[in-house]
Chains A and B, each alone.
Chain A
Amino acid sequence: MAVSESGSDSKLGSGADLRFLSRIFDFAVALIVLMLLMAAFHVHAMLTIGDWDFWVDWKDERFWVVITPVLLITFPAAFQYIFWENFRLPFAATLCLLALVLAEWITRVTAFNMWAYMPFSMVWPATLIPGAIVLDLVLMLTGNMLMTAIFGGMAFGLMFYPGNWPMLAAFMQPVDVHGSLMSVADQIGYTYTRTSTPEYLRIINRGTLRTFGGSAAPVSAFFSAFLCIIMYMIWWQIGKFFCKLITIPNVLRTHMGYGQEEKPNEGDLPLKA
């Protein structure tokens, strides 16, 4: 019988009290996990995709499209394992990307705009929430890691570019700046001075032969989707690794007057109260 339905009194108190405590515990953990993700996942994002997400004139059709989903499917995969395996909760990926985008907006407002004076048109972040929701839903509907990796991971990679295109498209319109062709994004990057960041530091698509119909984005999106599948499986295992309870036997136990340590059987966990 689950705690939530057990009406009988126990040592801890009445069933209503237990339900209340259990909810307090839920919200405390939810808040901690959200803060943890906002910090840890955001640091991970800044250190790996960094400039591609910071600046509008780095959001290219090749590196940004490939690198962003591949490096951001990591935490969602690991947390999906933890949430699913222990609680059958299918919103880990959504929570990860929600935490990330909230943390990103906090820094874009406070650090990039208020502290370093960058305009928002230059420093808005990308979103991966649509792909994350799909990733969660595939896991919920299939209940299978491999299916989630293949279909969810692929969707996560494929949906990144079209999911952000509604925000990005206007910045990719052509302008004539002193006789040179630029996109609006290029012009923003040219105009707003990043003092020690000369233009050659941009790692963007500077011309490639590997395109279909002139655009590199579809090729990049499919390549990214493929890598996302592999990345998902690796990080699912990392989530699994962190879920293992590792205990170290007390080797001095017998010298302290105790007997040998007994290994508890799985069925003995005191869950049925």
Chain B
Amino acid sequence: MKVSLFITCMCDIFSPHVGKHTVELLERFGCEVDFPSQQTCCGQPAFNSGYLTESKVAMKQMMRAFKDAEYVVGPSGSCVGMIREYPKIFAHDPEWREEAEKLASKSYEITQFLVNVLGVKDVGSTFEGKVTYHPSCHMTRILGVKNEPITLLKHIKGIELKELPIKEDCCGFGGTFAVKNSVISSEMASEKSEHVSETEAEYLVGGDMACLMNIGGRMQREGKKVKTLHITEILNHRE
């Protein structure tokens, strides 16, 4: 099966290791992974800030970049969620509507792809440690991916999964919200950090690097030892 990796600008620049784990995971399950180098950013920073015109040029670039892809898989619920919104955004644009629909229907977040397309439940990995999982908002509410990450994590050998209190609450990232409303944003991150501590987990795991950067940045500032990991880091973990 041919899979085109959608790295997301965030992982491209800040967390390339997440991309490596994603590629290795996909290859482990027999996918042939390519990287369409014309890809940039999904458009979300501009779209969510109200700059529709600016976001659309980014979206068009993405549609061009992945035109020939069979499947598009990315390590972010939020960015893949954005792509899945393209059909709505281009609904009245005869030139791009079809492309938007095509791209949306072949795009998947990595855990969603593993579970729902490849039919994998047990990736066969081992990870020793106490782990709590933060379900990021766009992953669960926009993309609708709730159970897939848990299914995969539950099958990891050695893992001790701890339920995060009020896990569905946003961590406070929210793109430009984190800067425009930084006071509120950091209060939200602090509460999340408290909840992580309550679980006594050593690792906070999530499917969106932006949220992990926010919670992790807060925990680090508080001097906590909890490590943040992208879910692919656990799924691809070998002894």
A, B bound: no
